[in-house]
């Protein structure tokens, strides 16, 4: 059966503020961020799950699984280029989650709400108190459109051509980005039961 969803995890940044690869930050229970997110999206039924990395990243640091690694050799083109590279590995007409590697809080119930809200030529975004968060879900026709472009350009600008479907969310963690050692320490000090992919 053809998969209904896929996921792209942009992780090619040099993590200069963090001082080490954010994808390899310990999450808990023996997982790092990359393993936590890839297993969560895979468990939700996403196939493939694509992680876009830089040339310095060693995939051997992550346990084998169904995660596809794609190398962004042009970091100067930014996150948009990473997303475009990832889209090349998404099957035809399959909806696609875009989720930053430095946000470890996508609950399964949130993924379900996004799936229920998305439209073929639109994208669904969780919103907390008027602010959009992570992940977003591209509809299957929108994914196909962006995937087939020779040059995606600026991803945020590309989104403006499609319908934005806002999904109200009560969890402020959808706004979180863990960019610095201080933010990571705050994450570690949070209670363990809030760091669960099964959260809302």
Domains of the chain, first to last:
5-194 (3.90.550.10)
pTM here is 0.90
* Angle, CA 123 vertex, CA 118 and CA 161 arms, to 5°: 140
How many other β-carbons are positioned within 10 Å of the β-carbon of residue 42? Answer: 16
Place of tokens 């962006």: 146
pLDDT in tens, 132-183: 999 999 999 999 999 999 888 899 999 999 999 999 998 888 988 888 888 8
């Amino acid at each position: 059966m053809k998969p209904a969803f896929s996921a792209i995890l942009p992780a090619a940044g040099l993590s200069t503020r963090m001082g080490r690869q954010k994808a390899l930050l310990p999450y808990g229970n023996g997982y790092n961020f990359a393993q936590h997110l890839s297993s969560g999206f895979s468990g939700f039924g996403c196939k493939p799950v694509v992680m876009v990395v830089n040339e310095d990243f060693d995939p051997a640091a992550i346990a084998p699984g169904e995660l596809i690694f794609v190398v962004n050799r042009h970091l100067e083109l930014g996150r948009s280029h990473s997303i475009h590279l990832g889209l090349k590995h998404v099957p035809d007409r399959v909806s696609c989650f875009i989720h930053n590697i430095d946000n470890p809080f996508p609950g399964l119930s949130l993924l379900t709400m996004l799936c229920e809200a998305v439209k073929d030529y639109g994208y669904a975004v969780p919103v907390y108190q008027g602010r959009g968060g992570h992940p977003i879900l591209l509809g299957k026709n929108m994914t196909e459109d962006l995937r087939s472009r020779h040059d995606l350009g600026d991803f945020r600008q590309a989104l403006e051509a499609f319908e934005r479907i806002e999904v109200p969310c009560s969890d402020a963690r959808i706004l979180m980005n863990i960019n610095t050692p201080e933010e990571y320490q705050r994450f570690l000090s949070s209670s363990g039961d809030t760091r669960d992919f099964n959260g809302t």
